[in-house]
Amino acid sequence: MRLIIERGNLVMKKMKKLTVLLLAAAMVFALGACGGGGKTDAESTIVIYDGEFAEMQLIHYMVKLLVEEHTDLSVEIRDQMSPTNSYNELIRGNADIMNSYDGTLLTTFLHLDPADVPTGQSLYDFANENAKEQGVELLEKLGINNTYILAVPSEVAEAYALKTTSDLIPVAGELVFGAEHDFFTEEGSAKFNPLVEFYGIEFKEARQLDILLKYSAIDSRNIDVTVAYATDSRNKQSDMVLLEDDLSFFPEYNVAILVRSDLFERFADTAPNLKDVLNMLGGQFTDEDMIELSYSVDFDGRAVSDVAKEFLQSRGMIS
């Protein structure tokens, strides 16, 4: 019995000694990471929550490549979020940057209306002016106007001679409209009910769909008309005709990087050129560019990282 007790005490002493050594090692590691002139993650990392579509993902990855090549900062792209949730994380200070659209910023995030824009002021400038009151701001426009637009399969456009949204008015009673659930909500003014009221359109039926099933419904002809994003690569894949918004119901949706207003002050010492680096994307795209880039990801199966890198290299923005 005495031998068992002595062995037990010896084991306890060794365990205590090991615990002390492990704690000491952990303290040394922590000091090495935070002290001696090193930077903490918060001081050297920009956080982005990724978007749900190729367009957002491509722009986010281009931001990562540019920042990491031209500054000493790193960019962490986290899991995908809806635009509204990403915006909320930006406002709360849990994210730094997101790809956005001036029309979305105005109507969905700020709960304003294009009619609120003063005469002589652009939607972009008005939205940005109001966004700064919430601690965020848009950088330069990238050149893409990914506005909402009504779209029909080419065979439907041909059968009913459809070129504009107004052309739907006399024939809508024969057509089924379908779109994602979000387009039927009351959040924001660019939605289904305001649209049909504005144009005086009465569809045969309006169906709410899962956004991932919308183009399948078009391809199988379960719906005849939908709302699309102007630069969505699926329009090309499904041979869609985009109907001109001839009465200008939908606002512009100019793509621009949205950042926290304190971003450049926070990184003034570590990356004084950060704003210039992010604005390297300003004016670099056309709608056609983005359709092709997104198509490469969505239907050619290419990696976002490869497509983004090749585009920036082709413009001489990264090595």
- pLDDT tens-digit readout, 146-199: 999 999 999 999 999 999 999 999 999 999 999 999 899 877 678 999 999 999
Listed residue (164, 175, 306, 189) closest to 245, CA to CA: 164
CATH architecture under which domain 41-146+252-314 falls? 3-Layer(aba) Sandwich (3.40)
Amino acid identity for residue 144 in this structure: I
Q: Are the C-beta atoms of residues 103 and 123 closer than 8 Å to each other?
A: yes
- Highest CATH level, class, for 148-242: alpha beta
Render pLDDT for 119-140 as a digit per residue (tens, 0 to 9). 999 999 999 999 999 999 999 9
Worst-scoring range by mean pLDDT, 25-29, 98-102, 120-124, 139-143? 25-29
In tens, the pLDDT along 198-235 reads 999 999 999 999 988 999 999 999 999 999 999 999 99
pLDDT at 31 over 70: no
Fold match, 41-146+252-314 / 148-242: yes
Domain segments of the chain as ranges? 41-146+252-314, 148-242
Beta strand pairing call for 45-49 and 74-78: parallel
Query: Does residue 7 surpass a pLDDT of 60?
Result: no
Phi-psi region of 235 (alpha: psi -120 to 50; beta: other; left: phi over 0): alpha
The pLDDT value recorded for residue 27 is 45
Residue 33 has pLDDT above 90, yes or no: no
Rounded CA-CA distance 114/92 in Å is 26
In angstroms, the first-to-last Cα distance of the chain is: 73
Among 40-49, 79-88, 91-100, 254-263, where is mean pLDDT lowest? 40-49
* SS3 label, residue 159: helix
